[in-house]
Amino acid sequence: MTTLISVDSLETIVAFSLISCVAAFLWAPALIKFLYKYNITRRNPHDVTLTMECRKHKKGVPIMGGLLIIVTVAVITLLFNWERRFTWVPIGVMLIAATLGGVDDLLNIFNEKKRRNRKLKHLLRLIRVHKSIKHRLWLIMTFPWAVFKRTSLWLGSHPGKGLHVHERLILQFIAGALAAWWIYFKLGDYWHNIYIPFDGFIDIGWLIIPLIILFVMGTANAVNFSDGMDGLAGGSLAITFCALAFLSWIEGFQELAILNSTVVGALITYTYFNIKPARFQMGDIGSLGLGALLAINAIAINRMLLLPFLGFIFYVEIASVIIQILGRYTLGRRIFKMAPAHHHFELRGWSEEKTVMRFWVIHAAVVILGVWIGLA
């Protein structure tokens, strides 16, 4: 499958990055004005990090700045790189995940009431004492669903006014399932094989389907957790999509190389406006959409197992959240001062700039290692 494409194609790939960067710059001021005008900004009631002394200045900064990347990439791809086999589904998955994030962002900002789930103890009591037999039967039948909703809260920082964790997981599962369907049933037998670094390809058949869903969901959430400091997610994603563009080019996937390059250009502009003090922040609309796109583009070039390298800092962030949850529920104490990891270092006294730039450097080093492994 590996077929090195021409230098002319490489020039085209780089050109798309430049076009995307310029296009994003042209409409970024209008987006910033729109977000300020309609008060689509960070607010205390739904954002516990704003209670930290070192982060109070972030109150009032617009979120949903990820629209700059999502819209730019989608429009340029639709106009100039709409290749049925390789770009339809990645863009579709990105838009599904971004829509999920956008709904969550808007609910957190504009929803008046905090959304709550009933506690399991309350439901069990209603099952025992409710006067209506029909209602009791309904509660019994839906109790497993209630258990899923309550236990999924372990994966969230706090129930707020936006989408709850179980709703996010279901919608992310749908996006992951769409990606798995496309790769397994539409791309051909080559994608039934999984690339094992230094060992070639192994055919795992239908088992590729749950792996794809897991990586799409996990990577989307990992990027989402990383969107907490000015420049952190944008700069790290730019490094990762540069690597993906290079690997796509080397492996002969020109349409995906162009798509990844387009993302890099938009991310450069986004990061320019997101460097501290940020004019806007990515929000769930950008982090979930780009996280899902990152996963599916890596899987589409058959480099799924490189994702922990290509998305290293994002996986570190989500791992810190999981470790924090396990520590809280098994040991009864926190492992980190605060999760995700960037908040831990912030509370240890690191400045935001120091944390972001060190994360960038570490991430870039591991991404380079991942590219080297991918070429082995």
Residue 194 lies in a domain: yes
The amino acid at 257: A
Q: Is the pLDDT of residue 3 over 50?
A: no
User: Can you give the pLDDT at residue 188?
Assistant: 75
Average pLDDT, stretch 24-48?
Answer: 84
Average pLDDT, stretch 84-99?
Answer: 89
Average pLDDT, stretch 8-35?
Answer: 93
Residue 352 lies in a domain: yes
User: Can you give the pLDDT at residue 1?
Assistant: 41
Residue 29 lies in a domain: yes
Long-range contacts of 333-342 (CB under 8 A, 24+ apart): 340/225, 340/226, 340/228, 341/316, 341/317, 342/226, 342/228, 342/229, 342/232, 342/317
Mean pLDDT value across the chain: 86
Q: Are residues 109 and 203 in the same domain?
A: yes
Other CB atoms within a 10 A radius of the CB of residue 54 amount to 14
Residue 27 lies in a domain: yes
Whole-model pTM: value is: 0.87
Q: Are residues 288 and 194 in the same domain?
A: yes
Residue 87 lies in a domain: yes
Is pLDDT larger for residue 118 or for residue 348?
Answer: 348
Find the length of the chain.
376
Q: Are residues 248 and 188 in the same domain?
A: yes
Q: Are residues 146 and 256 in the same domain?
A: no
Residue 91 lies in a domain: yes
Q: What angle do CA 335, 341, 343 make, to 5 degrees?
A: 100
pLDDT per position as a tens digit, 44-68: 555 555 555 555 567 788 999 999 9
Domain boundary among 95, 127, 158: 158
**Spatial contact of 192 and 202, defined as CB atoms under 8 Å apart:** no
Domain housing 255: 7-113+168-375
The Cα–Cα gap between 85 and 49 comes to: 42
Number of structural domains, the chain? 2
Q: Are residues 20 and 154 in the same domain?
A: no
User: Can you give the pLDDT at residue 115?
Assistant: 60
Q: Are residues 137 and 92 in the same domain?
A: no
Task: Find residue 243's DSSP bridge partners.
Answer: none
Q: Is the pLDDT of residue 2 over 50?
A: no
State CA 186 to chain mean position distance. 24
Q: Are residues 144 and 287 in the same domain?
A: no
Q: Can you read off the two tokens belonging to residue 365?
A: 């080093």
Residue that the structure tokens 């982090």 belong to: 287
pLDDT per position as a tens digit, 208-219: 999 999 999 999
Q: Are residues 25 and 133 in the same domain?
A: no
Three-class SS of residue 55? Answer: helix
Q: Is the pLDDT of residue 207 over 70?
A: yes
Q: Are residues 144 and 61 in the same domain?
A: no
The Cα–Cα gap between 177 and 182 comes to: 9
The amino acid at 374: G
Q: Are residues 204 and 61 in the same domain?
A: yes
pLDDT per position as a tens digit, 102-134: 998 888 888 766 666 667 677 777 777 777 787
Q: Are residues 136 and 103 in the same domain?
A: no
Q: Nearest CA to 313 among 342, 344, 273?
A: 342
Q: Nearest CA to 180 among 209, 204, 207, 215?
A: 209
**Spatial contact of 66 and 290, defined as CB atoms under 8 Å apart:** yes
User: Can you give the pLDDT at residue 110?
Assistant: 82
The Cα–Cα gap between 64 and 227 comes to: 11
Residue 163 lies in a domain: no
Q: Are residues 202 and 123 in the same domain?
A: no
The secondary structure of the chain in percent helix, strand, coil, rounded to multiples of 5, reads 75, 5, 25
Number of H helices, E strands in the chain: 15, 2
Residue 33 lies in a domain: yes
pLDDT per position as a tens digit, 150-201: 666 666 555 566 677 777 888 889 989 988 998 888 887 777 788 888 877 8
pLDDT per position as a tens digit, 222-275: 999 998 899 999 999 999 999 999 999 998 899 999 999 999 999 999 999 999
Q: Can you read off the two tokens belonging to residue 283?
A: 């929000």
The Cα–Cα gap between 272 and 137 comes to: 57
Other CB atoms within a 10 A radius of the CB of residue 148 amount to 13
pLDDT per position as a tens digit, 352-374: 999 999 999 999 999 999 999 99
